[in-house]
Amino acid sequence: MDPQLLSTSKGKQGVMWLEILLASVLGFVIYWFVSKDKEETLPLEDGWWGPGVRPTAGEDESIRPFKVETSDEEINDLHQRIDKVRLTPPLEDSRFHYGFNSNYLKKVISYWRNEFDWRKQVESLNRYPHFKTKIEGLDIHFIHVKPPQLPSGQTPKPLLMVHGWPGSFYEFYKITPFLTDPKNHGLSDEHVFEVICPSIPGYGFSEASSKKGFNSVATARIFYKLMLRLGFQQFYIQGGDWGALICTNMAQLVPSHVKGLHLNMAFILRNFYTLTLLLGWRFGRLFGYTKRDMELMYSLKKIFFNLVRESGYLHIQSTKPDTVGCALNDSPVGLAAYILEKFSTWTNPEFRDLEDGGLERKFSLDDLLTGVMLYWTTGTITSSQRFYKENMRLDNRHEGIKVHVPTGFAAFPCELIHVPEKWVKSKYPKLISYSYMPRGGHFAAFEEPELLAQDIHKFMGLLERQ
């Protein structure tokens, strides 16, 4: 045999045995780590995020009705700024690979300026009841939608739903009827919910913190206090994006108050399973990956390339949110391009190959621009971006704490990164429902409201049969 071929063969065998050794060691470490199932909670603590020093008098705990409003002045200012837009021509055949394509942006601008009816959208926003209440020095906005009717002998289940960035409470408008009035929308009325959707402080109509350090844990505590103020000692919670982390933190803070947790995204960071990405393509079955997991996760090169390509905003907002915020808060067109680009590539990464970013394949321009207007009219893009900086810390204790609350998870195929059931269960040991969704991406409630509602109903059924 050729000595060179013999040497190559031995070399390949050596690499193979090294991979097997590494996989075995890693498997043992994962087993040891997962077997440590101590129930730990986050301390509840307290906070004050309003301006100045906390008053000595008690906080006003009243719940006040609120209405979304607009004015001729607000609309005229928007139109004047749109009229003065300056665009840079896109490169030939660049589609959405360089960000939002300015040729398609011209169509969006034209619709926004000439056809979009903000007053009509304000009326649509007000079709659900809005409220505000002061908690920890901040005026917290939320919608509270009760069932129009209930089956005999049934009480509604309180469900808190939390949005993320660059979203808002408006993401849940289309899913709400499937939860509060399921029978009239093609679903079983075995479970009927009353839905509470708050705005994260610094987003939309919720007041922004005046102080540094306002993170997901502080938000979770405020939303817990909101639910108590509404009279709910026990309740269910659901979220994606930041909402997934906030809901997770609520379950870590007050597990006895959270009857069930449903997620469509999970932050699995300090976990040995994430190390298996390096070996999973070859030893996936050893780590418990299903065939569908392998399809959604690999090739490895594609995963890391997509993460780098789609995370530029994260680095900016985690370090210097106020700088980019100055530009976005001054230009409605710039704000629209910055936000709507996420609704393209985060809905389906293949949409970046299209001239229009595929935006109108899943959403209407009215819905998309209503989301943008909730940032524009409230001037909250900068404060919303600060949430990244406040949460990107090395001392986030919650990352190492497991969640001992019954959990359901909906894995949408076009989510930014696929999280296998094994990963989810390592963080949420009481995972009772894990679903591979047939379609959909990051903005699940907005894009596929009926699918997400079906999975919430499925989770609730499994939870009550336990």
d(CA 90, CA 102): 6
How many structural domains compose the chain? 1
The reply to whether 142 falls in a domain is yes
Write the burial class of residue 65 (CB in 10 Å: 0-12 exposed, 13-18 middle, 19+ buried).
exposed
The reply to whether 52 falls in a domain is no
Which candidate, 355, 366, 344, places its Cα nearest to that of 443? Answer: 344
Residue 298's pLDDT band, with cuts at 50, 70 and 90, is low
Residue 293 has pLDDT above 90, yes or no: no
Tokens for 422?
């094994």
d(CA 265, CA 268): 10
Give me the helices (H) in 72-166, please: 72-83, 102-114, 118-125
Highest mean pLDDT among 128-132, 285-289, 300-304: 128-132
Q: How many helices (H) and strands (E) does the chain have?
A: 19, 9
d(CA 222, CA 254): 12
Residue 258 has pLDDT above 90, yes or no: yes
Q: Compute the average pLDDT of residues 97-105.
A: 98
**Residues tagged active-site:** 241, 388, 442
Q: What is the CATH number of the domain that holds 121?
A: 3.40.50.1820
Residue 401 has pLDDT above 70, yes or no: yes
Residue 345 has pLDDT above 70, yes or no: yes
Residue 278 has pLDDT above 80, yes or no: no
Return the pLDDT at 288: 78
The reply to whether 254 falls in a domain is yes
Write the burial class of residue 205 (CB in 10 Å: 0-12 exposed, 13-18 middle, 19+ buried).
buried
Return the pLDDT at 29: 47
Chain mean pLDDT for the chain: 91
The reply to whether 251 falls in a domain is yes
Q: Compute the average pLDDT of residues 313-341.
A: 98
Return the pLDDT at 268: 87
Greater model confidence, 16 or 139? 139
Q: Compute the average pLDDT of residues 410-425.
A: 94
| 8 A C-beta contact, residue 141 and residue 189 | no
Question: 25-34, 245-254, 282-291: which has the minimum mean pLDDT?
Answer: 25-34
Return the pLDDT at 33: 47
The reply to whether 423 falls in a domain is yes
| 8 A C-beta contact, residue 156 and residue 191 | no
Residue 325's contacts (CB-CB under 8 Å, 6 or more residues apart) are 381, 382, 385
The reply to whether 40 falls in a domain is no
Return the pLDDT at 6: 45
d(CA 11, CA 59): 71
Helix/strand/coil percent split, the chain, to 5: 50, 10, 40
Side-by-side strand order, sheet with 138-145 = 63-66, 130-135, 138-145, 193-198, 157-162, 235-239, 258-263, 407-411, 431-436
The reply to whether 238 falls in a domain is yes
Tokens for 176?
């709400």
Domain that holds residue 255: 68-464
Return the pLDDT at 159: 99
Return the pLDDT at 20: 52
The reply to whether 372 falls in a domain is yes
